[in-house]
Amino acid sequence: MGAYLLRRVIFFIPTLFLITLLSFIISQSAPGDPVEQMLSGRAGGGGEQLAERQANQRAYLEKRRELGLDLPIFYFSIAPLAEPETLHRIPQVTVQEALRRLVYKFGNWQAVESYYKAVRRLDSAFYASFADTHWKGNQTEVQALLTLLPQEKNYQEILYKLRQLEQRIIPSLMPFYKQVWNTVSAMPEEAQRWKVYVPTIHWYGTANQYHRWLMGLLRGDFGTSYQDKRPIAKKLADAVRWSLVINFISILLAYLIAIPLGVISAVRRGSLQDRFISISLFMLYSLPNFWVGTMAIMFLCGGDYLSIFPPGGVQSTEHSPEWPLLRRITDWTYHLILPVIVYTYGSLAFLSRQMRTALLENLQQDYVRTARAKGLSEKIVIWKHAFRNSLIPIITLLASVFPAMISGSVILETIFSIPGMGLLSYGAMIARDYPVIISVFTIGAVLTLVGILIADVLYAVVDPRITYTKR
């Protein structure tokens, strides 16, 4: 058993690796600049005075280094020959992306780089002459154009923006502007398109963003939330409690009710009871839980209709740890009854339908006939022989019920305002707090793997034929 468990855990490593990779890819494709998100938009552009702007830029670069965003993304990169392997050092993801697109178009990094440098020079010259009297109030427009220019991916758009700049710029900046214009017009002339079609591999080693992130993950450091700058690990620890409590209760309830229901309807197959149970379970199975949840909140919880249950939350507002335990538990129960019902009924229906099918299949087997022929009582035949064998598929389902509940809780916790992982990730989704979304996904995936592992172990407990050891 121990050896088998070890083997399973080892087998999970590639899957885990894949999950972290997937999470990382998703987080990389999240729009926006993480550093600006962290500094809440006061970096990058912004800041009218030169000194203030320089301070902001310094803060930006410092934060960037602190987050390790100046590192390459992965252990290695596959890129066209035209793309320089040091592109990741350029600050601002959007600028990086724009330059990469230009390189993909023209194939000549020297040309693109000199354009970028010319833009930077024009930029600093602009801020140095911010107080110039020749501006006639054009500064803000020029500032906006200069912020957008290096982020522009489309060559035609760059030309268009430059022409707009030309009309507004003051004479003293003209030489800088001319430089930019020259480098831009040089790009198509000096194009080396063949370089785009030569693939190269570059090895960066462990000093990369993925490695850093993964190591952080292993230490339990999930990064910081954009919203409140709190460590994500702390937020998760607060939230996971409620999700686990509700999921645990509801999985337990689902199994406790589903198994007898399934057995009754299999044993009395074709009877009125069976048909009633089957049809109502089928309906329950197809009933979207977020519909039931919405209706329950609307019709039963305060609102304009009945007011039997509290309108969401896990405890009443005056709830305090000083209350006697019994009172606290009653308060929690009162709040959790409705969510638990809505959580449970779907998996309950699914499980008992599976239980019924499995038991029916087993009741037709030869060994059941043998047991009956031996003269065993029907009770023993069903419970001791057929039932035990029918449990196997039900147990495997634990592996699929568990992840379903985790993802299902995103919707249900939102409806019932339960401060668990689901609500946390919903809040993050709305606020575009990507590090939190990715962390919830990673944790959810790991919990799923744990669910599968538990199912595997239970499998061996129920079925003595499965020993997992080499005979």
Partner 1 sequence: MKKEAKISYSPRARAWEAFRQNRPAYYSLWVVGILAVIAISADFLAYNKPIIASYQGEIIWPIFRDYEEKWFGLKLWTPELRKADWRSLELEWAVWPPVRYAPEELDLRNAPAVSPFGEQIIRNAAERHYLGTDNLGRDLLSGLIHGTRISLTVGLVSMGISAIIGILLGALAGYFGDTSLQVSRATLWTGSIGVLLGLFYGFYLRRYALGEALGESFLAFLASLIESLLWFAGVVGICWLPSRILKKTRWGAHRVHLWVDLTISRIIEVMISLPTTLLIFTVAAVAKPSLFLVMAVIGLTSWTGIARFMRGEMLKVRSLDYIQAARALGYSDLRIMFLHALPNSLAPVLVSIAFGIASAILVESGLSFLGIGVPPTTVTWGSLLSAARSATNAWWLAIFPGMAIFIVVTLFNILGEGFRDAIDPRLQAR
- C-alpha dihedral sign at 6, 8, 9, 10: positive
Find the shortest distance in angstroms from Cβ 115 to partner 1. 19
User: Which are the contacts of 425, defined by CB distance < 8 A and separation ≥ 6?
Assistant: 410, 436, 437, 440, 441
User: Which are the contacts of 48, defined by CB distance < 8 A and separation ≥ 6?
Assistant: 130, 139, 143
CB nearer partner 1, residue 259 or residue 406: 406
What's the chain's Rg over C-alpha atoms? 31
CB nearer partner 1, residue 250 or residue 448: 448
Find the shortest distance in angstroms from Cβ 312 to partner 1. 11
**Binding positions for partner 1, rule: CB under 8 A:** 12, 14-15, 18-19, 22-23, 26-27, 29-31, 78, 80, 101, 104, 196-197, 199, 282-283, 285-288, 290-291, 294-295, 297-299, 303-305, 403-404, 406-408, 410-411, 414-415, 425-426, 428-430, 434, 437-438, 440-441, 444-445, 448-449, 452
Find the shortest distance in angstroms from Cβ 219 to partner 1. 23
* 3-class SS of residue 224: strand
Sole residue written with tokens 């154009």: 145
CB nearer partner 1, residue 46 or residue 403: 403
Find the shortest distance in angstroms from Cβ 84 to partner 1. 16
Strand partners, 80: 199
CB nearer partner 1, residue 197 or residue 383: 197
How far are the Cα atoms of 184, 246, 311, 358, 443 from residue 328, in angstroms, in the given order? 70, 16, 18, 41, 29
Cα(248)–Cα(405) distance, rounded to whole angstroms? 10
Cα(57)–Cα(39) distance, rounded to whole angstroms? 11
Per-residue three-class SS string for 235-302 = HHHHHHHHHHHHHHHHHHHHHHHHHHHHHHHHHCCCCHHHHHHHHHHHHHHHCCHHHHHHHHHHHHCC
DSSP code for 78: E
Find the shortest distance in angstroms from Cβ 242 to partner 1. 17
CB nearer partner 1, residue 180 or residue 355: 355
Find the shortest distance in angstroms from Cβ 86 to partner 1. 20
Find the shortest distance in angstroms from Cβ 80 to partner 1. 7
CB nearer partner 1, residue 116 or residue 434: 434
CB nearer partner 1, residue 56 or residue 357: 357
